[in-house]
Amino acid sequence: MAKGPTKSMWMRMLTIMLALVVGTFCVSATRLAKIMLVDSDFYQQKASEQQLYDTELSPTRGNIYDRNMNVLATSATVWTAYITPNDLKKITNQSEREAVINLIADNVSRILEIEREKVIECCNKSSAYVILKKRVEKPQADELRRFVSENSLGYLIGLDESSKRYYPNENLASVLLGFVGDDNQGLSGLEAYYESELKGIPGRVVAAKNARGMDMPFSYEKMIDAKPGNSLVLTIDKYIQHVADKLLEQAVIDNKVAERGVCIIMNVNTGEILAMSIKGDFNPNEPFAISESDAKLLEGLEGDERINKLSELRNKQWRNKAVSDPYEPGSVFKVITLSAALEEGLTSFDKHYNCPGYIVVAGQRYSCHKRTGHGGQTLIESFQNSCNPVFISLGQLLGVKTFSRYFDAFGLSQKTAIDLPGEAAPMYHKEENMGPTELASTSFGQTFKVTPIQLITAISAAVNGGYLVQPHVVQQIIDSNNNIVKTVENVRKRQVISSETSTKMRHLMEKVVDGGGGKNAYVLGYRIGGKTGTSQKVDKMNQEKQGNLYISSFCGVAPMDDPQIAVLIVLDEPKGDAYYGGMVAAPVGGQIFKEILPYLGYQPQYSEEELQKLAIKTPDVVGKSVSTAENAIKSLGLNVKIVGKGETVLKQNPAPNLSIHKNGIVVLYTDSTEVNTVTVPKLTGLTIAGVNTQAAKAGINVEFAGPSLTDSGVLSYKQSIPEGTTVEAGTTVTVYFRSEDTIE
């Protein structure tokens, strides 16, 4: 019997053990090699996730300023309020849970101004995180924190920090500025176009964390600061934009404009856009809200139909009609045809034309808007009358090749490359496809489409010495320390017409406002030029089998001795009393010039005739004896009404130094300053004399607006204080007059 393992047994055992050890080692080595060499990235990532925390630091979005550094858009911190319903379910006692839900619903709905039912619905969801309200501002957030703290609800309700974009001027230039989404990303307008400049570069914090997940400061912490976005300094002037917004909105309401209105104000020499207004627009602080009139269109719609209509209405209010919607410019385009004809020497001021009311081209009859014809007329009169046959003739004289060359040169065959998103390309007859009839219709502004920004740029070239400029809305990009990162240079692309031709065009355009179709844009003391336009929306009329639909427009320039500012008004489908550009768009242009020219430093220069028609200033007679006051007022050609039996004037209306027309009335209060009231009469549809008579009868004063001082053939169409309103005796009511000439 063996005393123990033999040597061979030992050897076998050792061999087996060695094989086991080597095998185990090989497996471990292979596994280790795979982990270290093949899957190293994966495990490194897992280790980093376990041992480090990585937080992205959101950069502050850049601001948007107007040209005078007024803030148009900025960002600030807000919070997202949330609830964790799954934690609520951990309360097993039913009545206790109900009590907590009611407590939350009552207070959270009050603090966050949301419906109580919505809060209860959020509480009953099976989710770890439900948003109660986004963009909660500090006062509400502080109140919510207090409520949570007082009731020890920190495990249920919380606030996550986020950012909100503020547009302090609300609708001002809203379509131009655009808006941002929930993730602070620009979704339309300048916010989208300059997203890369505005958004900034996110920063990061990478740091080690301890077993509890808390950070370990000073050990293994690396921080890369977020780089704030750059800010934009626009060419827009906040005041001019306000004037454009205000007057365009009023025009859209007054003229029942169905398809929105556009107003662009541009520096003709530099291409800087001073204002770009689109109505109806939206409030960028609540970009998804729609107007009341649009909301009515959703009534009765349900399901997908409602969703689609809502989406259509939202897209419409965000759309920049000034750059995205080409339209037929109508007679405003005659400025381009005439510039080309003058430059080519095909016509001159002393040329005479005859308009029988129509013209036949290649068997196609084209009517003038005045069916009976304008008869014999000079070139200036043809332009004032906006005579279609004359301009068709000029087009024929130019010929397809030359006409197309000028069409190109004025930049109407391509996009302007303005720094705004969604610029549409024009739709026009190319030279190779243009026959005599296409040339005829194009010559007076029909059967092709350009965008408003293209048209105002082309008109600017016609009056600024002949230079086609690059329109733009951003003049500088600055960093967060206000250092200039980029300056946008004013660019002259080319000279289209000579300086001499441009001078002639200025003269002709001034004649249109002085006595032609644009006379409703006349402003006392200023030299204004312009051209009106009324085009039919033939494509839509045919497509939708509708009656006549029009686009009314006016493009004005001032001051005509040294043009600086161009204003383009486009009213799409006016459905009020009138639709002619001269009647609905030109008055808006005039009002805009009246407000912005003094602001820009252009003081009125009155002619002798104008000075005689100027309003008188009311004298200051407060504190004087009644007889002295009466004499002072009467000596100025004004009437006096004395209220009371006192001997001294205690109050007067209108107040001292205000404009008042001859034969106006000044009410003097002598006993007490208690006002004497009267009722405002109907002052529309009347001549100047008629308005004066009605005002005198009622004991009120009137101020005339529009071309009333230069043209006797005008009628009042609007009054600043509605008929039937009770006002203080002597109150001044502004009455708006316009010429009723139906010139396109």
Task: Considering the complex, state which of residue 111 and residue 551 has its C-beta at the smaller distance from other proteins.
Answer: 111
Among 238, 260, 370, 531, binds other proteins (CB under 8 A): 238
Among 109, 659, 676, 687, binds other proteins (CB under 8 A): 659
In angstroms, what is the minimal distance from the CB of 170 to other proteins?
A: 7
In angstroms, what is the minimal distance from the CB of 645 to other proteins?
A: 26
Task: Considering the complex, state which of residue 617 and residue 697 has its C-beta at the smaller distance from other proteins.
Answer: 617
Among 93, 152, 483, 657, binds other proteins (CB under 8 A): 657
In angstroms, what is the minimal distance from the CB of 288 to other proteins?
A: 19
48 in catalytic set:
no
Task: Considering the complex, state which of residue 277 and residue 442 has its C-beta at the smaller distance from other proteins.
Answer: 277
Task: Considering the complex, state which of residue 168 and residue 435 has its C-beta at the smaller distance from other proteins.
Answer: 168
Site size for other proteins (CB under 8 A): 26
Task: Considering the complex, state which of residue 431 and residue 620 has its C-beta at the smaller distance from other proteins.
Answer: 620
Q: Are the beta carbons of 562 and 464 closer than 8 angstroms?
A: no
If binding is defined by CB under 8 A, does position 283 make contact with other proteins? Answer: no
Cβ neighbors of 286 (< 8 A, separation 6 or more) are none
Please, where are the H alpha helices in 516-625? Answer: 538-544, 581-584, 586-599, 608-613
Task: Considering the complex, state which of residue 53 and residue 358 has its C-beta at the smaller distance from other proteins.
Answer: 53
**Sign, CA torsion 347/349/350/353:** positive
In angstroms, what is the minimal distance from the CB of 617 to other proteins?
A: 6
Task: Considering the complex, state which of residue 658 and residue 696 has its C-beta at the smaller distance from other proteins.
Answer: 658
Residue 651: CB atoms within 10 A of its CB come to 18
Among 136, 172, 461, 735, binds other proteins (CB under 8 A): 172
Segment near other proteins (CB under 8 A); pick from 14-22, 192-200, 238-246, 397-405: 238-246
Q: Does an H or E element contain 649, and which? A: none
Task: Considering the complex, state which of residue 197 and residue 237 has its C-beta at the smaller distance from other proteins.
Answer: 237
Among 239, 402, 498, 663, binds other proteins (CB under 8 A): 239
Task: Give which of 575, 573, 556 is closest to 565, Cα–Cα.
Answer: 556
Task: Considering the complex, state which of residue 91 and residue 721 has its C-beta at the smaller distance from other proteins.
Answer: 721
Residue 626: CB atoms within 10 A of its CB come to 18
Task: Give which of 78, 295, 247, 224 is closest to 706, Cα–Cα.
Answer: 247
In angstroms, what is the minimal distance from the CB of 55 to other proteins?
A: 12
Segment near other proteins (CB under 8 A); pick from 168-176, 441-449, 467-475, 706-714: 168-176
Task: Considering the complex, state which of residue 15 and residue 55 has its C-beta at the smaller distance from other proteins.
Answer: 55
If binding is defined by CB under 8 A, does position 166 make contact with other proteins? Answer: yes
Q: Whose structure tokens read 């080319």? A: 494
Binding mask 178-217 for other proteins (x = CB under 8 A): ---------------------------------------x
| Residues within window 214-233 making contact with other proteins, judged by CB under 8 A | 217-218
Strand partners, 556: 530, 567
Angle, CA 708 vertex, CA 703 and CA 711 arms, to 5° = 165
Cα 496 to Cα 405: distance, rounded to the nearest angstrom:
10
Among 209, 246, 319, 415, binds other proteins (CB under 8 A): 246
Burial of 743 (0-12, 13-18, 19+ CB in 10 A): buried
Segment near other proteins (CB under 8 A); pick from 163-171, 198-206, 254-262, 438-446: 163-171
Task: Considering the complex, state which of residue 249 and residue 630 has its C-beta at the smaller distance from other proteins.
Answer: 249
Cα 533 to Cα 331: distance, rounded to the nearest angstrom:
4
Segment near other proteins (CB under 8 A); pick from 196-204, 321-329, 514-522, 597-605: 597-605
In angstroms, what is the minimal distance from the CB of 145 to other proteins?
A: 12
Cα 661 to Cα 640: distance, rounded to the nearest angstrom:
13
Among 5, 23, 154, 168, binds other proteins (CB under 8 A): 168
Angle, CA 76 vertex, CA 75 and CA 78 arms, to 5° = 130
In angstroms, what is the minimal distance from the CB of 78 to other proteins?
A: 8
Q: Are the beta carbons of 354 and 408 closer than 8 angstroms?
A: no
Cα 660 to Cα 732: distance, rounded to the nearest angstrom:
8
Among 113, 170, 305, 562, binds other proteins (CB under 8 A): 170
Task: Considering the complex, state which of residue 431 and residue 595 has its C-beta at the smaller distance from other proteins.
Answer: 595
Please state the φ and ψ torsions of residue 691, each to the nearest 5 degrees: -65, -45
516: left (phi over 0), alpha (psi -120 to 50) or beta: beta
What 3-state class would DSSP assign to 623? coil
* Structure tokens given for 268: 């003709």
Q: What is the DSSP string of 479-532?
A: -TT--EEEEPPP-EEEE-S-HHHHHHHHHHHHHHHHHSTTGGG--TT---EEEE
Segment near other proteins (CB under 8 A); pick from 161-169, 512-520, 535-543, 557-565: 161-169
Cα 235 to Cα 275: distance, rounded to the nearest angstrom:
8
Cβ neighbors of 193 (< 8 A, separation 6 or more) are 178, 186, 419, 420, 421
Q: Are the beta carbons of 492 and 468 closer than 8 angstroms?
A: yes
Among 58, 107, 140, 169, binds other proteins (CB under 8 A): 169
In angstroms, what is the minimal distance from the CB of 242 to other proteins?
A: 4
Task: Give which of 637, 603, 588, 594 is closest to 617, Cα–Cα.
Answer: 637
Amino acid in position 500: E
Q: What is the DSSP string of 651-706?
A: EEESPTT-EE-TT-EEEEE-S--PPPEEE----SS--HHHHHHHHHHHT-EEEEES
Binding mask 69-88 for other proteins (x = CB under 8 A): --x--xxxx-----------
In angstroms, what is the minimal distance from the CB of 698 to other proteins?
A: 18
In angstroms, what is the minimal distance from the CB of 603 to other proteins?
A: 7
Q: What is the DSSP string of 273-339?
A: EEEEEEES---TTSTT---HHHHHHTTT--HHHHHHHHHHHHHHHHS-HHHH--B--GGGGHHHHHH
If binding is defined by CB under 8 A, does position 359 make contact with other proteins? Answer: no
How do strand 732-739 and strand 701-705 relate by DSSP bridges?
Answer: parallel
| Residues within window 114-143 making contact with other proteins, judged by CB under 8 A | 137-138
Quick one: angle between helices 499-515 and 452-463, nearest 10? 110
In angstroms, what is the minimal distance from the CB of 511 to other proteins?
A: 28
Segment near other proteins (CB under 8 A); pick from 21-29, 507-515, 538-546, 657-665: 657-665
In angstroms, what is the minimal distance from the CB of 192 to other proteins?
A: 21
Amino acid in position 632: A
Q: Which of 58, 174, 231, 331 is catalytic?
A: 331
In angstroms, what is the minimal distance from the CB of 633 to other proteins?
A: 17
If binding is defined by CB under 8 A, does position 598 make contact with other proteins? Answer: yes
| Residues within window 599-628 making contact with other proteins, judged by CB under 8 A | 603-604, 617
Task: Considering the complex, state which of residue 604 and residue 646 has its C-beta at the smaller distance from other proteins.
Answer: 604
Task: Name the residues that contact other proteins, by CB under 8 A.
Answer: 71, 74-77, 137-138, 166, 168-170, 172, 217-218, 238-239, 242, 245-246, 598, 603-604, 617, 657-659
Name the residues annotated as catalytic: 331
